[in-house]
Structure 1
Amino acid sequence: MASVEQVASIGQVLVNPKVDLTRRFRALFTLKNLGGAEAIEWISKAFTDQSALLKHELAYCLGQMQDKRAIPTLTAVLKDTQQEPMVRHEAGEALGAIGDPVVLDLLKVYSQDPVIEVAETCQLAVRRLEWLQSGGDKQVENGSTDNNPYCSVDPAPPAVSKSLSELRATLLDESLPLFERYRAMFALRNLGSEEAVLALGDGLQCSSALFRHEIGYVLGQMQHPAAVPALSAALESSSENPMVRHEAAEALGSIGKDDCLAVLERYRGDRERVVKESCEVALDMLEYENSNQFQYADELIRLQG
């Protein structure tokens, strides 16, 4: 257990804009792993930062922590139209991840948001909360869907077990509700095979930027080298939504192969700030993946060392 003083020292690293972004990211994930009221308070303080990428990750971590004490902060971020769309979107997703039905009415209101990524995210979060309320999580426990090997809280549960070709057809069918397509996406991720990776890669051609960005995220979780060509193409496309390019960059950092390094080095000077910063963070992640460092979220170890 970390002391309040240690949490505060890590928090100071997170909120200091003069500290290198890669170290601030490691401090953030250290706070996420430590959990508790003080960690949430420090993470919440950083939403005044200039980096949309950092703020997006703050919201992501608050959602993954599944602590109801983060709801007021996330609600304020979702409502704040001065925040970048990718930050508001992540706040909406995090409210769904926490899983408390107290936010259902709020999410229903923002399901009509004029920013499409925010609206679609809140629609998914409403469906997730309704699924939880109907006892859907019992389906996962009784084995009718594959378990998630990645320990992440996802915006939709995996689809009930189907063949890979059926899952791929659902994933790519743009006439279906986004929630059903997300369920197919997470079921394919849980399969983990090369065929599943290639099917997910095809999803990077779908019309919803939110959907494409989530594809990038799950390919990063899978860390399969077969995803590198599709992710590289997404990062290299200057006409692609920056939110998708950012997720592709981070996924390449997680996969950590030499060909990932070359692409990330090329785009670390990108004129889109969120893409540039994602490449910097991804290169730090790639260094970690190829090192003997004990863990990525290492700020407490630094303190103790």
Structure 2
Amino acid sequence: MVQALVEDPGLDIGLRVALLNALAETGLPSITPWLMGFLRESRWRHLLARVWEQIRTLPPFLMQWIDRLTGLSTVAQEDFSRMLLQRQAIAALGLLRDRRAIPLLVRILKNPQVHPSLRALVPDALTAIGETKVVPELLTLLRDRGTDSMIRERIALALGTIKATSATQALLELLRDPMEDPFIQARVALAIGLMRDPSVALELVPLLRQENLPVTARRAIADALGTLRNREVARSLIQLLPEERIPASVRQSIADAIGALGASELGDELLWLLRDERIDPHVRGAIALTLTTLRHRPAASEIISLLSDIRIDPSIRQSLAESLGSLWDPSLIAPLTRLAHEVTLEPAVRQAIVRTLGEHGGPEAFSA
């Protein structure tokens, strides 16, 4: 009964989609063949759709005359509704985790005649099913620059989510390619991080220095290094922080990665870098945040001195003020109170200081 309602073109498409979702949430594998039926398109429907697209380029009076004779606009409208249902059907097949759907999903993914928005949903469905045998086919599409970028991004993330470590070397090749789309490289770096294979970290560090790689890709690589949790690379990363040839935004991400690695043994070296005014102010701000992440208490006074440094973005200084709680000591009350009264201080930074004083200083902070 419900299936018949979903297929009824006379019903509102929103209701039909909601009913399809409700069926999928039942988790009944018996509906898999029915869902797969939504994804099997006849050549006749594709031909009609292409014909209508050509007719729409004609003068309006001629288009309307042809439509009255053929009713093709109604077919086109139902095709749009059907595509919405197909999107939900792909997601539902992933939700059901029914391996019978895998061959059909792979055919859809590889078919350039299928709308990209539908194909881009397939990697997520395959991930939900947990299929790893399709990794070679996914890699083939990922390497093909003729594949829609949205699809390639979803494939990269799918490979990371299913922890397809057999694809690691292929992903590294994409990262090393200076001609590759930087947004694809960013997704590839994220995928490598999702695989949680610490041994890959040693191969990623040299890429941070690779000047022909886009900044977007290098920042994503730094983020992946933080995710991989291989503390062996922490000392190599700290050596990159003062390198002016590396863009400041990349070095900020490197500092964040050191914090994510929990490399507290590098606290004194980071503090030394924080004091070096030759280093870009924004990088110093990121180093300061890393020191609070690592709870390196000797850095507190240096961090307070940065709160009024107008060369550093106010949002970074606001975060620094809020993070001082992790280094809290009653001796911080007096200098923070003085800062809070500075008229030139940005309101957001001042408010962050007041919040920190309120949360950690107690009554003494407001009587100072």
Which TM class, normalised by the smaller chain length? 0.3 to 0.5
Q: Look at both structures and tell me which one has the larger radius of gyration over its CA atoms.
A: 2
Structure ranking higher on relative contact order (CA contacts 8 Å, 6+ apart): 1
Normalization by structure 1: what TM-score? 0.43
